[in-house]
């Protein structure tokens, strides 16, 4: 069975990543691992467990939102998060919450689950609007030996798409 790894933070971009990951998992009948990493920043140590719990419920929300609700049955799972099964298509959805260096853990997890593709959002919780890529997504693209898909979410439709067609039109008029 092939595996898709979807790395999500708690930003709205997580929904773009999850939406694309669910679509691919069902279409390709792949397993899906949803991963979040609680940063090991020593300043944050005291709230690691709280943060893990927040991620666990966020994963649950994401998974139930992006897969048809009545087709998921929750299975007990030893560590943090849970293992969910999707319908009769046999897609297994697993939630993982790790702590440590965010980029390292995403790359390590991709190796561990032998991910065929790693999905990350183009941006996350960070607020530097001028950057095209967030630093986590950029570093995962550089560091991971796996294929990485940077999900751009809502930029796919709307203005950017119209911009693309007008660029094509002007390109065509030059020929």
Residues that bind ligand ADP (CB under 6 A): 7-9, 13, 17, 35-37, 102, 106, 120-121, 123-126, 134-137
Instruction: Report how far Cα 113 is from the mean position of its chain's Cα atoms.
Output: 15
Chain centroid offset of residue 54 CA: 16
Give least dist CB 131 to Mg ion, A: 11
Minimum CB–partner distance for residue 150 and ligand ADP (Å): 8
Q: Which is nearer to ligand ADP, 23 or 89 (CB)?
A: 23
- Distance separating alpha carbons of residues 175 and 4, to the nearest angstrom: 42
Are 94 and 34 in contact, with CB atoms under 8 Å apart? yes
The H or E element spanning position 101 is none
Tell me which DSSP letter residue 43 carries: G
Q: Give the one entry of Mg ion, ligand ADP, none that residue 4 binds, where binding means its C-beta sits below a cut-off of 5 to 8 angstroms depending on kind.
A: none
Nearer to ligand ADP, 61 or 73 (CB): 61
Residue nearest to ligand ADP (CB): 134
Q: Which does 36 bind (CB under 5 to 8 A by kind): Mg ion, ligand ADP, none?
A: ligand ADP
Q: How far is Cα 105 from Cα 88, in angstroms, rounded to an integer?
A: 31
Q: Which is nearer to Mg ion, 3 or 137 (CB)?
A: 137
- Closer by beta carbon to ligand ADP, 49 or else 167: 49
Contact 66, 8 (CB under 8 A): no
């Amino acid at each position: 069975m092939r595996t898709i790894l979807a790395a999500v933070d708690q930003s709205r971009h997580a929904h773009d990543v999850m939406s694309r990951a669910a679509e691919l998992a069902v279409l390709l009948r792949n397993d899906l691992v949803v991963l979040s990493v609680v940063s090991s920043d020593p300043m944050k140590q005291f709230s690691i467990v709280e943060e893990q719990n927040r991620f666990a419920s966020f994963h649950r929300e994401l998974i139930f939102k992006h897969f048809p609700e009545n087709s998921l049955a929750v299975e007990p799972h030893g560590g943090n998060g849970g293992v969910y099964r999707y319908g009769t298509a046999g897609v297994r959805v697993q939630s993982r919450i790790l702590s440590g260096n965010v980029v390292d853990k995403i790359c390590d997890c991709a190796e561990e689950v032998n991910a065929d593709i790693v999905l990350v959002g183009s941006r996350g919780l960070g607020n530097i609007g001028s950057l095209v890529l967030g630093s986590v997504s950029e570093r995962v693209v550089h560091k991971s030996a796996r294929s990485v898909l940077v999900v751009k979410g809502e930029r796919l439709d709307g203005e950017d798409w119209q911009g693309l067609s007008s660029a094509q039109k002007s390109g065509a008029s030059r020929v």
